[in-house]
A = this chain, B = another copy of it.
Amino acid sequence: MASEKVSTKIGMAPGSLVYVGEEGAADICVSIIQYSRDRYTETTDADLEACRQAISEDSVTWINITGVHDPDLIGRLGQMFDLHPLVLEDMLNTEGRPKLDDYDTYLFAILKMIDYDPGQNRLDHEQVSLVVRPGLVISLQEKPGDVFDPVRERIRKGKGRIRKLGADYLAYALMDMIVDQYFLAMEQIGEQIEDLQDEVIEDPGEEIVQTIHQSRSRIIFLKKAVWPVREIIHNLLRDDTDLISDDVRVYLRDVYDHAIHVSDTVESHRDILSGVLDIYLTTVSNRMNEVMKVLTVIATIFIPLTFIAGVYGMNFDYMPELSRPWAYPALWAVFLGIFAGLLVWFKRRKWL
């Protein structure tokens, strides 16, 4: 995948608008949803000019932009809504860390939206930026497709509290969707770990280490995505910003609980995973022990016997035993005696 890296930005002035992310992204698409308690309009494929006109004092406007690879568009957006250059820069950098900045008249948040496809066992992600102002939420995402459809549906149908509350509630609803999606990924990892636990006890193959590694990497990724969310909401709950109403703070506490839950579970998944690896490594050691025991038993029994047979295969002229008629059967008795004696010894050592 060709991609623009963060390092390409090194040396640019702060606030320089340069896209950082995968290239060849899809067309940019702007959609506007506007609603109040009793009105609701939706515009897809809007242009930015439409955005400015859309805003009105008695309704909530949600501008959703898919595709952030056009610095021009982001620049115009910034001018239109008077956003700080650093905000614009962060919008264009899809490799950012989740965070929340309070710019007094608006809040700016970065989150990682997971797109987990259980069918294909693929864990994709994209960055979502949110600008929250009284009456306005702007969301930016990298690629078409998101986890916000249920929110859109609730707005359309007027279900729940969403049409009755402000932009802060809408922002909460979007964050909630994103964090809920982490549960899906976490559950899948949990199931993978349970399968691993079963498999490692029955008959683990070599590929198990790679599955453990995949689970571990996903856990590390999830942790990196969800950990800052705790911080973000913790700050929002403590903070004295007027941009979040007390009603919505109760809801944010709920997202906070979920974020803590995910990161706790992620931590205990990790602990269990390392236990699974321990079992596997012990299994490998024990198998090696098995193999070595078989070899040692066979070799310890037959090598001395072979030596004795070799002795009586020697061609010395003077070997008195060779001419005794009872010698051959007697030797077989010796062979069997050694064989049985060693078997008993191995039994005692619990090698058999």
Contacts and interface: CB of A to CB of B under 8 A. Distances in A.
A234 interface: no
29 contacts: A10-B177, A10-B180, A10-B184, A13-B154, A13-B161, A13-B173, A89-B254, A96-B257, A97-B264, A197-B213, A209-B282, A213-B275, A213-B279, A216-B272, A220-B268, A223-B268, A224-B264, A224-B268, A284-B289, A285-B285, A288-B289, A295-B295, A296-B298, A298-B303, A310-B310, A312-B315, A316-B321, A316-B331, A317-B324
Contacts of A351: 291
Interface of A: 5-7, 9-16, 84, 86, 89, 96-97, 99, 101, 103, 147, 149-150, 154, 159-162, 172-173, 176-177, 180-181, 183-184, 187, 197, 201, 203, 206, 209-210, 212-213, 216-217, 220-221, 223-224, 250-251, 253-254, 257, 260-261, 264-265, 268, 271-272, 275-289, 291-296, 298-300, 302-307, 309-319, 321-325, 327-328, 331, 335, 350-351
Contact of A323 (B177, B303, B317): B317
Contacts of A223: 268
Contacts of A282: 206, 209, 280-281, 284
B304 A298 contact: yes
A289 B204 CA distance: 14
A10 B147 contact: yes
Given A97-B261, A217-B275, A314-B315, 16 more contacts: A6-B187, A10-B177, A10-B180, A13-B150, A14-B173, A203-B350, A209-B282, A213-B276, A284-B289, A295-B295, A295-B296, A302-B307, A314-B328, A316-B327, A318-B324, A318-B325
A217 B272 contact: yes
A15 B72 CA distance: 40
A295 B294 contact: no
A296 B291 contact: yes
Contact of A177 (B11, B96, B159): B11
A313 B251 CA distance: 90
Contacts of A289: 284, 287-288, 291
A12 B150 contact: yes
A305 to B, nearest CB: 5
A57 to B, nearest CB: 26
Given A154-B13, A316-B327, A351-B291, A86 B177 contact: no
A263 to B, nearest CB: 10
A193 to B, nearest CB: 10
Given A12-B150, A291-B289, A309-B313, A327 B318 contact: yes
A96 B262 CA distance: 10
A300 B303 contact: no
